[in-house]
Copies of this chain bind each other. A is one copy, B any other.
Amino acid sequence: MTTNRLAKLRKQFDHAEVDAILISHPSNRFYLSNFTGSAGYLLITQKDALLATDSRYFEQVKQQSPHFILFEMKGRTEEWLPQLIGPQGIHRLGFESPNITYSFYKEMSTILEKTLPELKLIPLENIVEKLRSVKEPGELANIQRAAEIGDKAFEAVTKKLKAGTTELQLAWELEKYMREHGSQSMPFEVIVGAGPNSALPHHGPAEYPIAAGVPIVIDMGARFNGYSSDLTRTICIGKPDDTFIKIYDVVRRAQEAAIEGIHAGMNGVQADGLARNIINSTGYADMFGHGLGHGVGLSVHDFAPRLSYLAPPEPIEDGMVFSIEPGIYLPGWGGVRIEDLAMMENGKVKLLSHARKWHER
């Protein structure tokens, strides 16, 4: 499987004008090699695939990445880097410009200028992330499984929810359920925001008791075989106030318009606009401060697609997985966000998450 991915990456070499690529991002490293260690680099040439890491992981590489040549990183960067790069006869080495620190870039370029003066370093943007945006069937199955774990946890835990439970307790019950029903560690910490806290889209749950009648925003994801899901529901214990009913209805309609309207070939700005137009037309324009959605995969915020008024005009394609999550936030009162995980299939949106929504209760 990763062999196919290497072949696809090598096909990009000509266009990127490189004859090798150094991979530094953990998820990209895993995507291309299956290696789950926390440190290391891949060096991919047209002919070879090397995995450079330190002694903590030598054995692990042999088990997880038998199709890679293990390069043993020992000592300081100036000792191992020229030994890794030098023998490959590389002229133009691509590197992952958004996934490398400025200081490592300076260190690397200083060392390579001295030891391999003919070599050119070529910054590349998101070359592996773009490959990752269209999911293979095995990846889709993992994401689907992660979404199912999230759906079940939401159902099981929220149906027992009582006023007085703190945000932290609810977040932990959701996490514990997911972890004990097949999820790996969380792709992001469960968000629970109640009452005014729900106006903070990324509120860290606190020792704050959840009252009846207020909006409760729950944003959660599971992880299966490395792949994430992402789900948000806004609920209420007992009877909500009029503001909730009014805002919830706008967000629900915005989300439904996006789910029905997004189709293959549409770009991220257009997709975002389907939901945003509805929110804007109801006078809440300034209260929807984030984009409509983001790619989901090995990372809960995959690079592509991006559904936002700030997104590049790239088309959403079949096999892409993304969130659809409009929200309205009123400082002091609270917020409503509804998020589903979706994939593009046969040109249309197919939902991967199915947890019941407040209005379906």
Contacts and interface: CB of A to CB of B under 8 A. Distances in A.
Question: Can you tell how many copies of this chain the complex includes?
Answer: 2
Given A98-B101, A172-B179, A57 B200 contact: yes
Contacts of A123: 102-103, 106
Contacts of A203: 60
Contacts of A56: 200-202, 289-290
Nearest to A63: B200
Contacts of A38: 202
Contact of A36 (B99, B186, B204): B204
A342 to B, nearest CB: 21
Contacts of A310: 75-76
A340 B150 CA distance: 37
B186 A59 contact: no
Contact of A98 (B103, B202, B290): B103
Nearest to A101: B98
A54 interface: yes
Nearest to A75: B310
A123 to B, nearest CB: 6
A140 B184 CA distance: 31
Nearest to A301: B38
Interface string A47-82: 000000011111110000000000000011000000
Given A36-B204, A59-B331, A100-B101, 15 more contacts: A54-B289, A56-B289, A57-B200, A60-B200, A60-B202, A60-B203, A95-B102, A97-B101, A97-B106, A98-B104, A100-B102, A101-B102, A103-B125, A185-B186, A185-B189
20 contacts: A37-B202, A54-B289, A55-B289, A56-B289, A57-B200, A59-B199, A59-B331, A60-B203, A76-B310, A97-B102, A97-B103, A98-B101, A98-B102, A98-B104, A102-B123, A103-B125, A105-B105, A106-B123, A176-B179, A185-B186
